[in-house]
Structure 1
């Protein structure tokens, strides 16, 4: 069933983008506000704790790199259903078995589920929302970020209510179950296509690698903030709930940016001005966390959130711009996300390593600031005039 075949189908398509997006970040962001209790109960070090964020992102990268094969073997319907099932089982296991080893295994399982969904959704957006691709990408990105913020805010609440930190992680099986039931009920998503080429041919193309590196570096700050922002402010004397609420506050501005900036992008084809604004917001936010974290914490977090929310949506949109054909665009997006998420996976691990090495998170904000400044310079090469000359083979 095409999302464009009826009014009900169109509404269902928009609703599904929201529901799917909401399930893609709780597996990451539910950890951070409860990290102190988790480390106390399991004995995990800072570096080992960082793996709870890094491992899902590694899965996102590896699965995305074989996204074309996933589409060929499973199709959107079975692939997305399998991804939701894996997220559900990971959350259930975290609730029932709270050991450190269980957390690491479920990080892999849930990350693979998230990766399956993320690998399949961009091509679906390009095909089903071909007249509204920027807006659809914005809705999907905003929902994804909203899920992360809700998990950061509500996980401590659930842990307090049930009087166990495991519940704060496991309760996110409920939205996964709801999404799985909705996905099974609505006949949406393409079936497997045996004609899909099971290999990506753009690996030697410089533009494909540039897009992938760019996607990874402009978005890597999100993983570090999700993993360590509450811990940073707890080190500065904040409590568990106030520090966790900072992630939720950041999410508000991520959602605003993820919705607003793609709508503005709908009016033109040059993504660079909006990307410059987004990266500048990130830069100022990181500098604020570095120089004056206690003076205007909500301002710095808002700027980081706005910049990160916009960069995720706009960098994916920039990638899709390079092909008119939905399948080719999806293959490129899968490659870009694959390499990009592997880069993202390094970020929280690096932050944890720097924290253990130096005793503070200051050096991590320095690294992120330098990275965004470098990406401000790189952005200039993505002129729309280069899309054809730098066309990426599918």
Structure 2
């Protein structure tokens, strides 16, 4: 018989804190995307600066995420979560309230740095606070992230105009959501006892150690591949459809369909995966949806766009799966925290590099066949990595096979 883990905090408070934290993990990105033309004109950005601003998220998530495991061990997970929200709010206020391109970039880097820390510690938070509901909370968390991302994209411009403000207000006002989300984390941070922080920090697992595990690289590149796919779709899909003959409104509708399909699939994927004896079967289904969607866009882009959007959106479930399975690939909270940091840092740097190279090669071309062929190849690469990632292995077991010391319980 199994016993449910007892936690020192009410379940409702823990769930509220997790979900409010999740609402802030893409607001700083989506608000800039919604107001990019206004920001470019208002801040006087040139083409290179616009490209740099839009490529900041994956690079910041990757580089600054390297600090996540160390900060989480030193401060404790709950205090780190509270700190991330305060950093996110501060960055958003700075880039919106202080004039000048330098402050725009500085505030963006600060806000994205806070998000990077939150990205890394979230799997460990879920494992610690909901050890018997990891799949359900991961599904809920990813749905909230996707819903908040879509909501901010749709609401930023209307809210900005409703308050009679400019683009600076449009990107600064979302700091209020971060400050609101900090409220439930305050009592949890107080209960982040010194003994628990010492326990978490007693078993340091350097990222260089994880880098010696080939399957950890497979998990990291799986995370990076799905991230690259997602950024390409949400960044270029409207332009692709318009170049293929769809109107602006029709193209925007298709992006919405991708988001809805991705959200619905992410809602159920972790729970379904947790109950499957052969999780590789789900990977094959998602691979089929991925290939069918991009092949359809390549051959018949304007004939059945809604079908291609649903298939592509369904294949975005890889994101929820990556966040869920990192909890299954280590036996300890320390292992999950360190593996999450490695996975997201390597993954986002890989994604950002690929996006920068692809954007440079594609340029302003209106021909998308090369990009779609690249997406099909990327789907195959991602599928192979997903099969390794969902196979039954543990970080500690892989370390023991190589004669490496493992973290304590």
- Corresponding residue number in structure 2 for 1:180: 182
1: CA distance, partners of 2:261 / 2:308: 11
Q: Tell me the TM-score normalised to structure 2 length.
A: 0.83
Paired residue secondary structure (1:358) = coil
1:131-150 superposed matches below 5 A = 131-150=132-151
Number of positions where the alignment pairs a residue of Structure 1 with one of Structure 2 = 390
1:73-92 superposed matches below 5 A = 73-92=74-93
Distance 1:136 1:376, change over 3 A: same
- Corresponding residue number in structure 1 for 2:12: 11
Residue 329 of structure 1 pairs with residue 331 of structure 2: no
- Corresponding residue number in structure 2 for 1:115: 116
Shift of residue 24, structure 1, vs aligned partner: 0.2
- Corresponding residue number in structure 2 for 1:128: 129
Deviations 1:189-228 (A, max 9, x none): 7453342416232221111111111221123211223333
Let me know the Cα RMSD of the aligned residues.
3.1
1: CA distance, partners of 2:157 / 2:300: 27
Residue 306 of structure 1 pairs with residue 314 of structure 2: yes
2: CA distance, partners of 1:216 / 1:77: 26
Residue pair 1:31, 1:227 contacting (<8 A) in 2 also:
no
- Corresponding residue number in structure 2 for 1:267: 275
1: CA distance, partners of 2:190 / 2:278: 32
Shift of residue 267, structure 1, vs aligned partner: 0.9
Shift of residue 336, structure 1, vs aligned partner: 0.9
2: CA distance, partners of 1:362 / 1:171: 40
- Corresponding residue number in structure 2 for 1:224: 232
2: CA distance, partners of 1:144 / 1:110: 16
Segments of 5+ residues of structure 1 without an aligned counterpart are none
Residue pair 2:64, 2:117 contacting (<8 A) in 1 also:
yes
1:178-327 superposed matches below 5 A = 178-186=180-188, 190-191=192-193, 192-193=197-198, 194-197=201-204, 199-200=206-207, 201-232=209-240, 238-239=247-248, 246-268=254-276, 270-308=278-316, 310-327=317-334
Deviations 1:70-121 (A, max 9, x none): 1222222322122111211222233324644333223211110001111212
Shift of residue 20, structure 1, vs aligned partner: 0.9
2: CA distance, partners of 1:252 / 1:15: 23
Shift of residue 311, structure 1, vs aligned partner: 0.6
2: CA distance, partners of 1:33 / 1:208: 35
Q: Tell me the TM-score normalised to structure 1 length.
A: 0.86
2: CA distance, partners of 1:291 / 1:31: 33
Deviations 1:113-144 (A, max 9, x none): 00111121211212222212111211112212
Q: Larger radius of gyration, structure 1 or 2?
A: 2
Shift of residue 288, structure 1, vs aligned partner: 4.1
Segments of 5+ residues of structure 2 without an aligned counterpart are 400-405
1: CA distance, partners of 2:71 / 2:22: 19
1: CA distance, partners of 2:77 / 2:41: 41
Paired residue secondary structure (1:66) = helix
Residue pair 1:279, 1:372 contacting (<8 A) in 2 also:
yes
- Corresponding residue number in structure 2 for 1:338: 345
2: CA distance, partners of 1:362 / 1:78: 48
Distance 1:35 1:249, change over 3 A: farther
Distance 1:234 1:29, change over 3 A: farther
Residue pair 1:149, 1:250 contacting (<8 A) in 2 also:
no
